[in-house]
């Protein structure tokens, strides 16, 4: 890998997501960092819209790897000076780094798109209890109530069983919110429960669309009318469902880079405050 432009004494920014294929993309990122450091860049910032292995943020059973920590260690060993990412699955991953990590959020961008959709009498539905805090932020901005999906994991994989919905959704347009989707089984299961409980329509808004090969057909056969997802993942192994609409985070990342490069505060763009405060 070779850097074609002179970067000596300059601040370098690498924009690289780490999925499809995850291992190849992550190794490529490490090589870019090393090449820039060897080319005498003043600093190297990795802009990682989707941070792979973020679900591996803890040792939840014996003899397993904390994969997110391993990735953080590798980036620092390669010489990274700063990381910019979007909606980490586990915010505590920032603590895996000794370097600054700016964890931006796509929430306001998705909120703006939902507003432009012109939906009325909506209820925000957290995909699970773990996302409830973020769901309340969506609800605060949209002036809507919150419901929470109750689910449990029945195996050591991405499968989850949807047990029900906690909250009043009858006669309302339900909007399911979450940070990412892979197989879309949870989204589709929640949508089915919502319709059975009297929701008139079901939409969804997520940050990272880590769609598996069977996700498109599952969405097409579901009760979800439209799924809004950002472009933090720019490549997919198969065509997306026609019900998926992509919303860009380019302006968000560009503003973060501009502020960092000029030595300005980035807190205004990643601190999602309750508008009522």
Provide φ and ψ at 132, rounded to 5°.
-60, -40
Residue with tokens 């973060």: 256
Catalytic entry in 37, 58, 99, 151 = 151
- 85 bridge partner residues: 48, 103
H-state helical runs in 87-164: 107-117, 132-142
Question: DSSP secondary structure string, 30-93?
Answer: HHHHHHHHHTTBSEEEEEESS-TTTT--S--STT---HHHHHHHHHHHHT--EEEEE--SSGGG
Beta bridge partners of 45: 13, 82
State the pairing for strand pair 146-152/161-166. antiparallel
151 a catalytic residue: yes
- Output phi, psi for 207, to 5 deg: -85, -55
> How big is the CA angle at 269 (ends 265 and 271), to the nearest 5 degrees?
95
Cα 207 from chain centroid (whole Å): 4
Buried b (16+ CB within 10 A) or exposed e, 93-131: bbebbeeebbebbbbebbbeebeeeebeebbbbbbbeeb
Give the integer Cα–Cα distance in Å for 103 and 51: 10
| Residues with a known catalytic role | 151
């Amino acid at each position: 890998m070779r850097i074609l432009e002179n970067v000596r004494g300059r601040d370098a920014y690498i924009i690289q997501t780490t999925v499809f294929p995850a291992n190849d993309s992550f190794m490529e990122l490490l090589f870019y960092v090393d090449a820039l450091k060897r080319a005498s860049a003043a600093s190297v910032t990795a802009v990682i819209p989707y941070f792979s292995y973020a679900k591996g943020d803890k040792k939840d059973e014996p003899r397993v790897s904390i994969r997110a920590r391993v990735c953080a260690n590798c980036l620092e060993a390669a010489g990274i000076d700063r990381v910019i990412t979007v909606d980490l699955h586990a915010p505590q991953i920032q603590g895996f780094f000794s370097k600054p990590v700016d964890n931006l959020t796509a929430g306001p961008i998705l909120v703006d798109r939902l507003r432009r959709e012109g939906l009325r009498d909506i209820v925000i539905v957290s995909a699970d209890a773990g996302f409830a805090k973020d769901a309340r932020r969506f609800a605060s901005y949209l002036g809507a109530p919150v419901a929470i999906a109750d689910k449990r994991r029945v195996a050591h994989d991405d499968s989850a069983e949807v047990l029900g919905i906690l909250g009043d959704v009858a006669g309302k347009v339900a909007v399911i919110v979450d940070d990412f989707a892979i197989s879309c089984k949870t989204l589709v299961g929640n949508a089915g429960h919502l319709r059975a409980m009297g929701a008139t329509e079901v939409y969804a808004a997520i940050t990272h669309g880590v769609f598996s090969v069977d996700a498109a057909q599952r969405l097409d056969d579901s009760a979800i009318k439209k799924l809004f997802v950002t472009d933090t993942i720019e490549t997919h192994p198969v065509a997306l469902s026609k019900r998926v609409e992509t919303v860009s985070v380019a302006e968000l990342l560009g503003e973060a880079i501009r502020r960092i490069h000029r030595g300005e505060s980035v807190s205004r763009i990643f601190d999602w405050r309750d508008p009522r405060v």
